[in-house]
Amino acid sequence: MKKIVWCIVVLSLFGLQGFAQESTSIDSVRVWQMRAEKNDVGAMINLFIYYSQQQNETEFYKYAQKLDEFIEEYNAIKIFLNVPYIIGLYYLTDDYSVTPQDITKGINYIKYAAENGCTEAQYQLGIIYHEGRYGQAKDLKESFKWYQIAAELGHSGAMLLLGMAYNNGDGVAKNNEEGLRWITQSANLGNNFAAYFLGVSYYEAVEIKDVSKARYWLQKAIELGNEMAIQYKKEHGL
């Protein structure tokens, strides 16, 4: 059931608060069920979210399957691109007792969401291609493309990995200035690892060494909850 719990977190991050809530009444659920039987996609989405919150694996999977049938036909689902993205993750995992893992379907859903503007799907697709996950060929240029798309749309995690790609020359010509720019943007948006990385870089990298900036970013990382920054400051007397 641990993946169900994780899905709840993901759903809450992607702005579906206007739909099912944990305090949803039984009467509302019954109405949604009746509407879902008549192929009401909005009701299916509500039930999909509701049963993820209830950690009801069987019903969650049931409505994931129903949405699967309508995902190409109804534009309503395209508005909530996290739904096909979550379904994609659902097919990729083998942790559910009632779910047949389907890597091809999972990747296709994530691509569908990414191609239609879901930044989290774009970010994850970048990771998949960067690391060659789920049987996909490792493709640094494709990975860079998706990191860049998500970063330009404001995804802080993608900004960090895009900056790393520039620093390492992964899928793009090496460009440390551009790498620093993107990692700084990520840190300014609250990414604690980006802040930690900047702190370490300003302390250790000869070409940009700046102890005051190192202290600033390490403290910022600590305030954002990065425990490695606490240890690093202690070890280096910062």
pLDDT of residue 95: 60
pLDDT at 6: 37
Distance CA 1, CA 87 (A): 16
Whole-number Å distance between alpha carbons of 28 and 33: 9
DSSP string, 28-66: HHHHHHHHHHTT-HHHHHHHHHHHHHTT-HHHHHHHHHH
| Phi, psi for residue 90 in degrees, rounded to 5 | -60, -40
pLDDT score of 37: 83
Query: What was the pLDDT predicted at 207?
Result: 81
The rounded distance, in Å, linking the Cα atoms of 219 and 229 is 7
Q: Are 121 and 113 in contact (CB under 8 A)?
A: yes
Q: What's the pLDDT at 106? A: 86
| Domain range list for the chain | 194-238
Residue 202 dihedral angles phi and psi, to the nearest 5°: -70, -25
- The reported pTM is 0.71
> Given this model, what pLDDT does residue 24 score?
60
For the chain (length 238 residues), average pLDDT per consecutive 10?
36 42 68 82 74 73 71 52 74 64 85 87 94 93 96 95 96 96 96 96 87 95 95 92
Q: What is the pLDDT of residue 214?
A: 94
Q: Quick one: pLDDT at residue 91?
A: 79
Residue 81 confidence (pLDDT)? 55
pLDDT at 68: 65
Cα angle vertex 186, ends 184, 187, to 5°? Answer: 65
For residue 189, give both structure tokens. 């948006």
CB atoms within 10 A of CB 196: 23
